[in-house]
Structure 1
Amino acid sequence: MTDTSGIHVTETTATHPRGPAGSPPLLEVKGITKSFGHGRRRLTALDGVDVRLERGETLGLVGESGCGKSTLARVVLGLERPDSGTVRFNGTDPFTLKGKELLAWRRRVQMVFQDPFASLNARMSAADLIGEPWRTHRDIVPTAKDRERRVRELLSLVGLRESDAHRYPNEFSGGQRQRIGIARALALDPDLIVCDEPVSALDLSVQAQVLNVLSELRERLGVSYVFISHDLSVVKHVSDRVTVMYLGKVIEHGRTEDVFDRPLHPYTAALMSAAPTLDVSGRTRDEEIQLRGEIPSPFDIPSGCRFRTRCWKSEARCGDHAPLAVTREGAADTGPEAHEALCHFPLGIGTTGA
């Protein structure tokens, strides 16, 4: 698939079973709040966030810097304990686990980092980097012979040569380093991989290669992704569903085609209109939506609708009352297929502006 961004990404369909009817989703986050600071001076990073991820699915997480994406990722990874709300991974609350149970859970959730140059230890070979998780989870690959064999398998799985096992990070390109990072994430056979801007530091053509690797792995292994990115063209291609965040709150979510083609929230429409394009076909595009003002401080979030200070549709009620969720006509009313937004004045179907 190629779009106006110039990125060509192979389309794949996840074949991993979603479990029997009535089984819990792989990941379910409900009402999560998280703030930082002391006393009255507290930064609200997450405010009542709900997220759901099925097995074999990719959830795109988008929003401007400071919207809470990385904090949510840290909660999902078990690195930050939420102030309130619940996290369920295959029906289990990971924050109640201890000892061996917690260690066993941690292998099921792994991460691919943003910077392939900073996330790899320059003093370790590719084989050592990929096999580093086995130093903690010794029972996964118990012998040196097994580790050597598994490293070769993982290198091949991400499109590198077996002979690359003994090379060091400075001998690889940025795209190759990110492949090593992906192989390291796969070393423990996880169910979920959190990808935090995994291609933002790479050239455009290399981005496509890495994205294709991730898509192919999802099809072959059934792994699920939470994919964090500022690049909407990337999110559009790799995600089954999209969650849009603003100042610590989910303001729109739904199937990727619904959110991108028929955004409900003015903020989502503004993000879409501002996305860069290399389209030279001569077709006109909708006029870019200019947001007024700056993003408010997370220490002082506006009353009512938190987006109202920058929204061209804002009226008095937007400051007086927090908006309730609205559902796009024709979409599912509830569940993971629902297309919902928090807005007093949602945009019409097919509308990208006022």
Structure 2
Amino acid sequence: MPDSHFTTATETARADRTQQTPPLLEVRGVTKTFGSGRRRLTALDGVDIRLGRGETLGLVGESGCGKSTLARVLLGLEHPDAGTVRFDGTDPFALRGKDLLAWRRRVQMVFQDPFASLNARMSAADLIGEPWRTHRDVVTGTKAREKRVRELLSLVGLRDSDAHRYPNEFSGGQRQRIGIARALALDPDLIVCDEPVSALDLSVQAQVLNVLSELRERLGVAYLFISHDLSVVRYISDRVTVMYLGKVIEHGDTENVFERPQHPYTQALISAAPVLDTSQATGDREIQLQGEIPSPFDVPSGCRFRTRCWRAEDRCADEVPPPVARNTQGAADPHTAWCHFPLATESA
């Protein structure tokens, strides 16, 4: 996939981080548990992430690693048990009343399923304008709302005449464009994209990704982009965070993570991912992970990945791995892995 659609946004985001501009979103040590006693599940365990304005952070990992729980925390749908969340310097969980309502305008979501996330009885115009029922002061007056709907339809590549059509009259990609337009209706600073193209055909995926990239460059909106598809994450993300059983295990600029993965789990994920662009193929054989993902109710001691890791030693069972950071030339952030034996040290 070509990268011309998001070069400017990438450079801007990196410049902001280099100049130590305060982040739009900063999560520190966030923990979230469900249940109690033996049925206590730690969905998030000390998670840290940082997201700048106009930046895309890719969040990857197998099912059950905590990606969706983190998204729900960032949307204010779940309260963390520990840790801090700062959005533009403000703790959203301390807000009440009108202040909380105003903050909710700034964080929106694009859902995974464009078929289930749209009310079949509402027209495209009604779907896009649905957020204005709650946030009445954003766009006032019938004519102003009709004009804004047309503008949003145009932004996502649809026609004015599509405003009065219903979801069953659109293709999957067009429905997802309506979902994106709805997310933009409140002029948010951050959009959480939860597997936004996984239900679409490959050619349609590329079209929707291009729409998201162009909107980021044009509007300066930031994305938290959750996906199982590593080729999609590589295409759209500035930085990548890899999670496993509720913990962040690797983080860094996208190209560094994909070209020089430090954690064995990341290397395994990348080796198993299909490569659409043959110029990005590494030639390495696919790594077949052994065993099943451990139960989140009974996570392994020490390094949580050790039960499936071909490099594990006794130390991995006894000690939680500390972060090992490498300052990579040209990268705005250190490339960090939580591993006793990071792979990158072999060639450093």
The reply to whether TM is greater than 0.5 is yes
Structure 1 residue 52 displacement after superposition: 0.1
Question: In structure 2, what is the equivalent of residue 311 of structure 1?
Answer: 309
Paired residues of 2:25 and 2:52 also in contact (CA < 8 A): yes
| 1:1-354 alignment, distance < 5 Å | 1-2=1-2, 10-14=5-9, 18=16, 23-278=21-276, 285-328=283-326, 330=328, 337-348=333-344
State the Cα distance separating 1:11 from its structure 2 match: 3.9
C-alpha change, 1:245 and 1:9, in structure 2 (3 Å) is farther
Distance in 2 (alpha carbons) for counterparts of 1:30 and 1:151 = 37
User: Aligned-pair distance for 1:41?
Assistant: 1.6
**Residue 262 of structure 1 contacts residue 349 of structure 1 at CA under 8 Å; is this kept in 2?**
no
Q: Percent identity?
A: 78
Measured in 2, the distance between the counterparts of 1:229 and 1:9 equals: 21
C-alpha deviation, 1:26, in angstroms? 0.1
- Displacement of 1:39: 2.6
- What CA deviation, in whole Å up to 9, does each residue of 1:126-166 have, x standing for no partner? 00000000000000001111100000000000000011000
Q: 1:296 to 1:9 in 2, by over 3 A?
A: farther
Output the amino acid matched with 1:209: Q
Is the Cα–Cα contact under 8 Å of residues 9 and 237 in structure 1 kept in the other structure?
A: no
What is the Cα deviation at residue 279 of structure 1? 6.3
TM-score of the two chains, using structure 2 as the length reference: 0.94
| Runs of 4+ that moved beyond 6 A | none
Q: What SS does the aligned partner of 2:35 have? A: strand
Describe the SS at the equivalent of 2:284. Answer: coil
TM-aligned CA distance change 1:332 to 1:206, over 3 Å? closer
CA apart distance, 1:18: 4.6
Compared CA separation, residues 200 and 350, structure 1 to 2 (3 A):
farther
Paired with 2:231 and 2:142, the residues of 1 have a C-alpha distance of 42
Q: TM-score, normalised by structure 1?
A: 0.92
The secondary structure found in structure 2 opposite 1:47 is strand
Distance 1:20 1:100, change over 3 A: farther
Counterpart secondary structure, 1:31: strand
Q: Distance in 1 between matches of 2:306 and 2:265?
A: 10
Name the residue aligned to 1:5.
Answer: none
Q: What secondary structure sits across from 2:262 in the alignment?
A: coil
The answer to whether the 8 Å contact 1:265/1:341 transfers is: yes
Give 1:47's aligned amino acid: D
Match for 1:87: what amino acid?
V
Between Structure 1 and Structure 2, which shows a larger proportion of helix residues?
A: 2
Q: Secondary structure at the match of 2:73?
A: helix
Q: 2:30·2:80 contact (CA, 8 Å) conserved in 1?
A: yes
Unaligned runs of at least 5 residues, structure 1: 3-7
Q: Is the 8 A contact 1:126 1:168 kept in 2?
A: yes
**Residue deviations 1:27-66 (CA, integer Å, cap 9, x gap):** 0000000010123320110000000000010000000000
Cα distance in 1 for residues equivalent to 2:184 and 2:274? 32
Following superposition, the deviation at residue 280 of structure 1 comes to 7.0
| Structure-2 change in CA distance of 1:243 and 1:280 (3 Å) | closer
Q: Shift of the alpha carbon at 1:277?
A: 3.0
